[in-house]
Structure 1
């Protein structure tokens, strides 16, 4: 029998999110239950409900937590002495790596009940922040274009990138040519061309 451990309020929330992230990464979100997570972190079945009223609220918090981590990581790129163009490509490649390493989490964040039939307002806020951050990066590279043009270029760039990772995760794009075309090479080539197109004069 597992020993139930006392938790400070903020620690329990963080421990539940960490356990949920690991579960989703390994198994997807469909089979996740609050009771199971409570058992994993060693608390009573009712303890998580002080932080998350139901399963959907937990999954939403988990998706928001991942969006927040991605945006925080992206915001650090400008401090590395990179050119504006390199920052755009670096952010794109970081997203590609995250998406390929965490296909189940990507599904939760972009293609789950949290986004259908309508996007949850909290997720929409993060999607808009992410879009604005990308558009601002393009505008820094091309200061003479309008904000709307930068936004449209950002949409075009991320349409290519999300399409790429979705097709790889679904097995539509895979290594071929007896290893001549690796996934890493394909990703680098596609992202490089997509960034060049987004930043073309």
Structure 2
């Protein structure tokens, strides 16, 4: 057990859920995205590193874990599902818990994979779909959530949220995937 990683992950989870992010960031959508990305890309790997025995129990094949995470993330970003999380406390909790669970599945599957290259593939696929979703949010010609949530359009807030997704998720998953690729290549050299 890595207590420092476990305590850091738990403390960050409490902070990210308790902090008045909407006030700090000036808009609801960037606050949503900062919570989302912190859960899946920072807190989840800290918890997996901090509790390796538990991670071993929930580890799925990396590509299956990445596919589950893809479905969870993209489903919650559909306007109807996002509005449930935005307008209802139970929906918000369900969204946040599913983001954390999906993040744990990805990181447990990829970091605990039998072969580092399989883990790298899962993380690199996750990086690609996070990048795509972030880019779609940045490049959308209108606020895709305002009407269904009953809020004033805030295209700038949506774009800022998309940029947070790009700035946090893309590099973390990409770098972790490249580190696992390097480990796979090192393991291959040792075998030769």
| Normalised TM-score (structure 2) | 0.36
Structure with more relative contact order (C-alpha pairs < 8 Å, separation 6 or more): 2
Q: Compare the two structures and name the one with the higher helix fraction.
A: 2
Larger-gyration structure (1/2): 1
